């Protein structure tokens, strides 16, 4: 098993800031790790904790949630609401053993292409170090086998 | 059955250099529901768009995915092309394989694999897209301007001059606001009334403006283009139609010693009064609180003095209902009550006055006819101390923010004083001089250099009376030593604060406000004149402290927003809005509270006999901006957001 | 007179005078240490009323029974402090009008039942404030601390062990006064947010969603915990979340009938140290 582990990471981002920041990383031709898949939403306010669970169910080894910095939300307050939910949901995941290293949160503005690229690299590296999310994968595997009753 | 067409763009070589487009097309062609999967050099160019249209028609496609550049580039282009081919434009989605893939990755295999994931997940999403129609909202082309200060007058005139109807509501008996109280205005020193009164008259006589003074907005319902507004016309006890404004009643009124609000207590008025000589309309009102008749049940002298019987003591408040398309809020500011500064003795020593009171002393039409005289003994002060930031930039007793105008008006006051009292001396205690504005720094320089005003950098710690003087103790921090000045008068540069009822008022009309009570703009940088509620705009000092040029600029900007809205009969909006499943809604109102735009209403569900069965949330598509905050809150999963539905996102994630 | 008899007399009076149309209290259950809800409509029915330290169920959920409150007539209900807090939440979330509820408050400590002063929910505000004061201590629990001390892997394994036993009977949901939704998100199959198979994955998802929806709302009455047929320590997760919202937002559930729901409101300076 010398092959390096390529983690699968799903990012949920708002279209006005982080998605635009990712576009800027592209137009600036910054290079970063290809492990992240982006799901675009209008606002961080739209990012439901259920999405995180579904990404994990789909085999994601890591999840990133990102949007506009406080005060910059296109919808004025969506990210303030989101921040509260994240705070609570993060504690819940942590307590149930879904490590906070695997579910990360960030603010990336439309001007922060560099921050986006750097984060893609660091998050990929961090999760590569953690390795596959074996414990969750075992649960997923179980669902693939026929039910016992 | 889904028949999805996938169009993979090379973007010249921008994409194909890193993504193997042929292989991608072949991979995607295998995906369930994909009817067409092709690649091409430039899909955004005309031949590319034509080929998409052709494929839609020939294959009866139910959805389209264009794997190309960012949706922020060409989503609109491709959606339009789809519409031209008869496919609902919202059945088209973009897979971003350029900005998010080919431009940022180096390994071709991995980039191709990622592009396949991105495209596949978009195919899964588009399978669940719904045919959406742009939302059409009818627009009532009539604007409401609330507040008749300089900002409100400007907005009303701009809109009316463009040919649209305006209702201008002012709660005082006259138009004018604070600007009418000012003497001369910085930085040009033109007489405030001379420039304002003609505008007031113009507004009052404009055929497109319906002026309602002594009136207040009591409720606003509805949404952009379709507001229902209720206005209370306070009883004036004087018939506006017949009154000629002769003023006989005012001279006869026995109550003459009532402190005049307009003159900030320095002058007096009667119980039946107009706020000032040039009031518009120039027709008096009876102040119920001070009128002898209303207090004792006897008097009515004014009524007898009126030749044309215009006075009617039985008048009642009246309510008018208005249909309005857009609202400009221009309710202005107040000055802070300086009594909080006990050490300055405001309210205790008559010769400690506010900047606004100084304006009234300096005004040619004011109680002293423009002579600077002490309120205590009517003598001309020979030495005045001005204290800047008496309230502003002081988190402990005043307000945290800078009121922006006090540096300028204090300089103006000192200058006016030196012009009026040649042997007078003035000192200004200041923290910083903030004179950013066209001609502003030059103005303050002139005060220092030509008019010899002495500026002392430091705070005043105490003011106390001694003989007929006011002793002012402060520090000059530049010299690093305490100073005591024997002054004849002290003028406080009072902070500009929101109207005392600003928060209540904001709730009445449904807009957001900040911690102080200034109204919030939709976006501080990009949408500074829109409020957080669609169709309601802000002008002047109700949004933040401002001088006249800034208030007027914002008023004109608001007017142009209103005119843009009125340029069409209906308003078309992106259909990305939330909707609610009334059957499953639990009526917890979490969404109502969370929505940043007050777009969710409580709706009664009645049975056939009209009995209330339950109450549910109902999204007003005219107000909803499509953020989806409510959807995420809803525990019963009753809300959903068109264009980003739960089903779509679920499928998108599962497609990755 | 014992407290039970005092309250019995009061219940009879309330019903006889027509002050309330119904009293929700307790009556003997299937075994000596169990109590059942007792819906008392006439003074005679009050004879069966029991009030002792075995009365632990939070009865407030019964107030939401279809149609019970729609005639706007008053209903009295026996409640402990946690139950009183849940009245505040239900009122704040517009599920009932607290004006309509007459509270017969009691508390039990060391098998000793004591009466609580007051009838209207507002009258218990000082009591609830003092409970909030004590909450940081009261929410502490040795097992909870033990779990917090584990590595994430161990925690996962712990909960995996617990949740693997869940049979998705939803007794926990049924028992919780705050789970009043007409349709729960788990019953939503378009899309299927929670895996419905009996596998641990779906159980994990269900229990996480449940705990999330109760964050800042759970009053710690323990109804869910006691209802669970396979003894999953649900109370631990709820307590953990209560600690979290208290620490992060100074939010203690059920303080008043106008309290803003913690997840539908925000402060601009909410903590965000975890955000990159
Ligand atoms: C001492 C002093 C000196 C100044 N000197 C200068 C100067 O030299 N140069 C300069 O550029 N600026 C100066 N300013 C600033 C200037 O006064 C303001 O920029 C300007 O008056 C703001 O106009 P406005 O229309 O926003 O508000 P306002 O003038 O306050 O007008 C608001 C109007 O709305 C009405 N209103 C309020 N609430 C309601 C309601 N609910 N319903 C209906 N009507 C309502 C009020 O009665 C008022 O008529 C000075 C300010 C002060 C305090
Ligand atoms: S959050 Fe959901 S359940 Fe609650 S009122 Fe809104 S739509 Fe209804
Ligand atoms: S989507 Fe956003 S704007 Fe629309 S109703 Fe929901 S919270 Fe309000
Ligand atoms: S979650 Fe359990 S402990 Fe909390 S209020 Fe509901 S039933 Fe009571
Ligand atoms: S009561 Fe227990 S077994 Fe039943 S659904 Fe709840 S946690 Fe699962």
Residues 6+ apart with CB under 8 A from C109: none
Give B599 to chain A, closest Cα distance, Å. 12
User: Quick one: average pLDDT of A25-42?
Assistant: 93
pLDDT for the residue B644: 95
- Max Cα distance, chain A (Å): 55
Please work out whether the CB of residue B641 comes within 6 Å of at least one atom of ligand 3.
yes
Q: What is the pLDDT of residues B39-55, one digit of tens each?
A: 999 998 899 999 999 99
Give A146 to chain B, closest Cα distance, Å. 20
Contact C129, C255 (CB under 8 A): yes
Contact C242, C220 (CB under 8 A): yes
User: Quick one: average pLDDT of B530-536?
Assistant: 87
Nearest C-alpha neighbor of B134 from the set B565, B580, B575, B613: B575
The verdict on B587 touching C (C-beta cutoff 8 Å) is yes
Instruction: Give the chains touching B; criterion: ≥3 Cβ pairs < 8 Å.
Output: A, C
CATH of the domain at B51: 3.40.50
- What is this model's ipTM? 0.92
Helix or strand or coil: residue B212? strand
Please give the Cα distance from B153 to B157 (Å, whole number): 6
Query: Does B52 fall in a domain?
Result: yes
User: Comparing B489 with B625, which gets the higher pLDDT?
Assistant: B489
Q: How many domains does chain B have?
A: 5
pLDDT for the residue B98: 94
B377 and B425 co-located in one domain = yes
pLDDT for the residue C192: 83
Query: Does B538 fall in a domain?
Result: yes
Asked whether residue A147 carries a pLDDT value surpassing 70, the answer given is no
The verdict on C21 touching A (C-beta cutoff 8 Å) is no
Query: Does B47 fall in a domain?
Result: yes
Helix or strand or coil: residue B461? strand
Measured in whole angstroms, how far is the alpha carbon of residue B272 from the centre of its chain? 34
Query: Does B311 fall in a domain?
Result: no
**What residues in A contact C216, CB-CB < 8 Å?**
88
User: Comparing C104 with C269, which gets the higher pLDDT?
Assistant: C104
Query: Does B137 fall in a domain?
Result: no
User: Which chain A residue has its CA at the smallest distance from B116's CA?
Assistant: A37
The verdict on C195 touching A (C-beta cutoff 8 Å) is yes
Contact state of A77 with B626 under an 8 Å Cβ cutoff:
no
Asked whether residue B428 carries a pLDDT value surpassing 80, the answer given is yes
Nearest by CB to C244, from A53, A88, A100: name it: A88
Contact state of C201 with A149 under an 8 Å Cβ cutoff:
no
B603 phi and psi angles, rounded to 5 deg:
-120, 135
Helical axes B46-59 vs B71-84, angle rounded to 10°: 50
pLDDT for the residue A149: 46
Q: What is the pLDDT of residues B85-118, one digit of tens each?
A: 999 999 999 999 999 999 999 999 999 999 999 9
pLDDT for the residue C194: 84
Look over chain C and give the mean of its residue pLDDT values, rounded to a whole number: 91
User: Distance from the CA of C219 to the center of ligand 4, in angstroms?
Assistant: 6
Contact state of A57 with C205 under an 8 Å Cβ cutoff:
yes
pLDDT for the residue B35: 93
Give C101 to chain B, closest Cα distance, Å. 18
Query: Binning pLDDT at 50, 70 and 90, where does residue B610 land?
Result: confident
Q: What is the pLDDT of residues C149-205, one digit of tens each?
A: 999 999 999 999 999 999 989 999 999 999 999 888 888 877 888 887 778 888 989
Matching CATH number, A9-144, of 3.30.70, 2.40.50, 1.10.10, 3.40.50: 3.40.50
Query: Does B406 fall in a domain?
Result: yes
Query: Binning pLDDT at 50, 70 and 90, where does residue C33 land?
Result: confident
User: Quick one: average pLDDT of C235-242?
Assistant: 93
Could you tell me the residue ranges of all domains in chain A? 9-144
The verdict on C211 touching B (C-beta cutoff 8 Å) is no
Place of tokens 């396979």: C230
Percent of residues in chain B assigned helix, strand, coil, to nearest 5: 30, 30, 40
Give the residue, by CA position, lying nearest to ligand 3 atom 6: B630
**What residues in B contact C264, CB-CB < 8 Å?**
590-591, 593-594, 633
Query: Does a cis peptide bond (omega within 30 degrees of 0) precede residue B509?
Result: no
Contact C248, C274 (CB under 8 A): no
Helix or strand or coil: residue B550? helix
User: Which chain A residue has its CA at the smallest distance from B652's CA?
Assistant: A39
Look over chain B and give the mean of its residue pLDDT values, rounded to a whole number: 93
Place of tokens 């007003």: B620
Interface test with B, best of A6, A33, A34 (most B CBs within 10 A): A34
Query: Binning pLDDT at 50, 70 and 90, where does residue A145 land?
Result: low
% of chain B exceeding 70 in pLDDT:
100
Indicate the Cα dihedral angle B339, B340, B344, B345, nearest 10°: 40
Asked whether residue C271 carries a pLDDT value surpassing 90, the answer given is no
- Three-state secondary structure along chain C? CCHHHHHHHHHHHHHHCCCCCEEEEEEECCCCCCEEEEEECCCHHHHHCCCCCCCCCCHHHHHHCCCCCCCCCCEEEEECHHHHHHHHHHHHCCCCCHHHEEEEEEEEECCEEEECCCCCHHHHHHHHHHHHHHHHHHCCCHHHHHHHHCCHHHHHHHHHHHHCCCCCCCHHHHHCCCCCCCCCHHHCECCECCCCCCCHHHHHHHHHHHHHHHCCCCCCCCHHHHHCCCCCCHHHHHHHHHHHHHHHHCCCCCCCCCCCCHHHCCCCCCCCCCEC
B92 phi and psi angles, rounded to 5 deg:
-120, 130
Contact state of A99 with C159 under an 8 Å Cβ cutoff:
no
Query: Does a cis peptide bond (omega within 30 degrees of 0) precede residue B117?
Result: no
Asked whether residue B240 carries a pLDDT value surpassing 60, the answer given is yes
User: Which chain A residue has its CA at the smallest distance from C154's CA?
Assistant: A97
Nearest by CB to B72, from A23, A48, A55: name it: A23
Query: Does B423 fall in a domain?
Result: yes
User: Distance from the CA of B495 to the center of ligand 1, in angstroms?
Assistant: 13
Contact state of C148 with A53 under an 8 Å Cβ cutoff:
no
User: Is the C-alpha dihedral spanning C238, C242, C245, C247 positive or negative?
Assistant: negative
Q: How many residues does chain B have?
A: 656
Query: Does B404 fall in a domain?
Result: yes
Place of tokens 């033109």: B190
Nearest by CB to C201, from A90, A94, A143: name it: A143
**Structural domain that includes position B299:** 248-305
DSSP states of B8-76 as a string?
EE-TTTTTTTTS-HHHHHHHHHTSTTEEEEEEES-SSSHHHHHHHHHHHHHHT-SEEEEEES-HHHHHH
Q: What is the pLDDT of residues A48-99, one digit of tens each?
A: 999 999 999 989 999 999 999 887 788 878 999 999 999 999 999 999 999 9
For residue A26, count CB atoms less than 10 angstroms from its CB and return exposed for 0-12, middle for 13-18, buried for 19 or more. buried
For residue B609, count CB atoms less than 10 angstroms from its CB and return exposed for 0-12, middle for 13-18, buried for 19 or more. exposed
Start-to-end CA span in chain C (Å): 63
The verdict on C248 touching A (C-beta cutoff 8 Å) is yes
Which ligand 1 atom minimizes the distance to the CA of B175? 49
B58 and B88 co-located in one domain = yes
Q: Using most ligand atoms within 8 A of CB, pick from B578, B581, B617 the residue to mutate for ligand 2.
A: B617
Give the pairing type, strands B165-170 and B142-146: parallel
Q: How many C-beta atoms surround the C-beta of residue B487 within 10 A?
A: 23
Tokens of C1: 């007179």
User: Distance from the CA of C86 to the center of ligand 4, in angstroms?
Assistant: 9
- Mark which of B497, B526, B553 sits at the end of a domain: B497
Nearest C-alpha neighbor of B157 from the set B200, B114, B191, B195: B200
Give the residue, by CA position, lying nearest to ligand 4 atom 4: C218
B395 and B339 co-located in one domain = yes
Asked whether residue B655 carries a pLDDT value surpassing 90, the answer given is no
Nearest by CB to C155, from A50, A57, A97: name it: A97
Name the H helices within B378-500: 406-420, 440-449
Contact B169, B146 (CB under 8 A): yes
Contact state of C190 with B587 under an 8 Å Cβ cutoff:
no
CATH of the domain at B417: 3.50.50.60
Nearest C-alpha neighbor of B524 from the set B504, B534, B536, B538: B538
User: Distance from the CA of B216 to the center of ligand 1, in angstroms?
Assistant: 17
B415 phi and psi angles, rounded to 5 deg:
-70, -45
B456 and B339 co-located in one domain = yes
User: Quick one: average pLDDT of B315-319?
Assistant: 96
Contact state of A106 with C197 under an 8 Å Cβ cutoff:
no
The pTM (predicted TM-score) of the whole model is 0.72
């Amino acid at each position: 098993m010398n092959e390096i582990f390529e983690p699968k990471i799903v990012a949920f981002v708002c279209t006005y800031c982080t998605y635009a920041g990712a576009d800027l990383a592209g137009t600036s031709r910054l290079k970063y790790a290809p492990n992240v898949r982006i799901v675009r939403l209008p606002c961080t306010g739209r990012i439901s904790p259920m999405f995180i669970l579904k990404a994990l169910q789909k085999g994601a080894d890591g999840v990133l949630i990102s949007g506009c910095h406080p005060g910059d939300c296109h919808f004025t307050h969506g990210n303030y609401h989101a921040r509260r939910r994240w705070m609570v949901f993060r504690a819940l995941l942590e307590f149930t053993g879904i490590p906070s290293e695997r579910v990360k949160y960030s603010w990336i503005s439309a001007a922060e292409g560099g921050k986006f690229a750097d984060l893609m690299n660091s998050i990929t590296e961090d999760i590569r170090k953690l390795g596959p999310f074996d414990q969750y994968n075992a649960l997923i595997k179980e669902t693939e086998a026929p039910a016992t009753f | 059955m889904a028949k999805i067409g996938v169009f993979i763009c090379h973007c010249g070589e921008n994409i194909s250099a890193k993504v193997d487009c042929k292989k991608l097309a072949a991979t995607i062609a295998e995906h369930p529901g994909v009817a067409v999967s092709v690649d091409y050099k430039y899909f955004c160019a005309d031949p590319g768009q034509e080929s998409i249209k052709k494929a839609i028609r020939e294959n009866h496609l139910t959805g389209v995915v264009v794997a190309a550049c960012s949706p922020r580039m060409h989503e609109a282009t491709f959606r339009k092309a789809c519409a031209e081919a008869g496919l609902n434009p919202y059945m088209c989605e973009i897979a971003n394989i350029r900005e998010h893939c080919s431009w940022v990755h180096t390994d071709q295999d991995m980039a191709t694999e990622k592009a396949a994931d991105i495209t596949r997940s978009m195919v899964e999403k588009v399978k669940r897209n719904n045919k959406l129609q742009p939302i059409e909202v009818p627009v009532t082309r009539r604007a409401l301007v609330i507040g008749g200060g300089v900002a409100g007058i400007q907005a009303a005139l701009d809109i009316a001059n463009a040919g649209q109807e305006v209702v201008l509501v002012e709660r005082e008996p006259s138009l004018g606001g604070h600007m009418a109280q000012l003497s001369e205005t910085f930085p040009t020193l033109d007489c405030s009334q001379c420039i304002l009164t003609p505008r007031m008259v113009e507004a009052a006589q404009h055929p497109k403006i319906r002026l309602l003074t002594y009136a207040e907005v009591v409720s606003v319902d509805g949404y952009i283009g379709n507001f229902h507004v209720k206005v209370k016309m306070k009883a004036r006890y004087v018939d506006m139609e017949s009154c000629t404004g002769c003023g006989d009643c005012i001279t006869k009124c026995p109550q003459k010693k009532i402190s005049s609000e307009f003159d900030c207590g320095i002058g007096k008025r009667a119980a039946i009064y107009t706020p000032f000589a040039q009031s518009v309309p120039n027709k008096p009102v009876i102040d119920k609180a001070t009128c002898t008749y209303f207090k004792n049940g006897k008097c009515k002298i004014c009524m007898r003095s009126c030749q044309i019987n215009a006075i009617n003591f039985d008048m009642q408040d009246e309510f008018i209902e208005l249909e309005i398309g857009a609202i400009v809020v221009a309710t202005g500011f107040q000055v802070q009550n300086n009594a909080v500064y006990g050490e300055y003795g405001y309210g205790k020593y008559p010769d400690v006055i506010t900047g606004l009171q100084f304006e009234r002393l300096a005004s040619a039409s004011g109680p002293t006819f423009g002579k600077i005289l002490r309120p205590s003994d009517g003598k001309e002060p020979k030495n005045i101390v001005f204290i800047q930031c008496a309230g502003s930039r002081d988190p402990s007793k005043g307000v945290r923010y800078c009121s922006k105008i006090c540096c300028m008006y204090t300089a103006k006051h000192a200058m006016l004083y030196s012009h009026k009292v040649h042997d007078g001396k003035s000192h200004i205690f200041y923290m910083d001089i903030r004179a950013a504005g066209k001609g502003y720094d030059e103005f303050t320089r002139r005060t220092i250099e030509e008019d010899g005003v002495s500026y002392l950098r430091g705070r005043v710690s105490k003011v106390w009376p001694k003989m007929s003087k006011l002793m002012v103790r402060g520090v000059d921090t530049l010299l690093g030593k305490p100073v005591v000045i024997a002054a004849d008068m002290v003028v406080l540069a009072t902070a500009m604060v929101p109207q005392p009822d600003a928060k209540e008022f904001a709730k009445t009309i449904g807009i957001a406000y900040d911690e102080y009570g200034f109204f919030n703009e939709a976006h501080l940088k990009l949408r500074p004149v829109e409020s957080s509620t669609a169709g309601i705009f802000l002008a002047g000092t109700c949004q933040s402290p401002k001088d006249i040029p800034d208030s007027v600029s914002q008023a004109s900007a608001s007017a142009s927003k209103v005119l843009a809205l009125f340029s069409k009969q209906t308003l078309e909006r992106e259909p990305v809005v939330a909707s609610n499943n009334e059957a499953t809604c639990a009526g917890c109102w979490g969404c109502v509270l969370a929505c940043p735009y007050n777009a969710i209403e409580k709706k009664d569900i009645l049975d056939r006999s009209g009995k209330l069965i339950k109450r549910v949330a109902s999204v007003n598509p005219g107000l909803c901006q499509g953020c989806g905050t409510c959807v995420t809150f809803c525990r019963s999963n009753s809300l959903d957001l068109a264009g980003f539905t739960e089903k779509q996102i679920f499928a998108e994630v599962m497609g990755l | 007179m014992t407290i039970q008899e005092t309250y019995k007399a009061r219940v009879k009076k309330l019903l006889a005078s027509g002050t309330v149309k119904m009293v929700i209290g307790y009556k003997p259950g299937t075994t000596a240490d169990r109590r059942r809800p007792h819906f008392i409509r006439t003074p005679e029915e009050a004879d069966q009323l029991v009030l002792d330290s075995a009365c632990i169920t939070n009865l407030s959920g019964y107030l939401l029974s279809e149609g019970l409150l729609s005639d706007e007539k008053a209903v009295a209900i026996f409640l402990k402090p946690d139950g009183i807090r849940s009245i505040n939440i239900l009122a704040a979330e517009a599920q009932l009008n607290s004006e309509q509820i007459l509270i017969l408050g009691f508390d039990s400590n060391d098998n000793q039942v004591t009466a609580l002063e007051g009838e209207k929910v507002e009258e218990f505000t000082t009591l609830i404030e003092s409970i909030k004061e004590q909450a940081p201590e009261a929410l502490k629990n040795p097992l909870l601390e033990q779990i917090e001390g584990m590595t994430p892997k161990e925690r996962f394994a712990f909960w995996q062990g617990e949740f693997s036993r869940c049979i998705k009977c939803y007794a926990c949901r049924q028992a919780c006064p705050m789970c009043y939704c007409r349709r729960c998100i788990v019953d939503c199959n378009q899309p299927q947010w929670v895996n419905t198979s009996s596998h641990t994955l779906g159980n994990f998802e269900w229990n996480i969603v449940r705990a999330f929806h109760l964050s800042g709302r759970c009053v710690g009455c323990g109804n869910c915990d006691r209802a669970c047929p396979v003894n999953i320590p649900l109370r631990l997760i709820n307590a953990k979340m209560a600690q979290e919202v208290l620490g992060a937002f100074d939010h203690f559930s059920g303080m008043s009938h106008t309290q803003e729901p913690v997840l539908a409101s925000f402060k601009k300076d909410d903590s965000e140290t975890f955000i990159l």
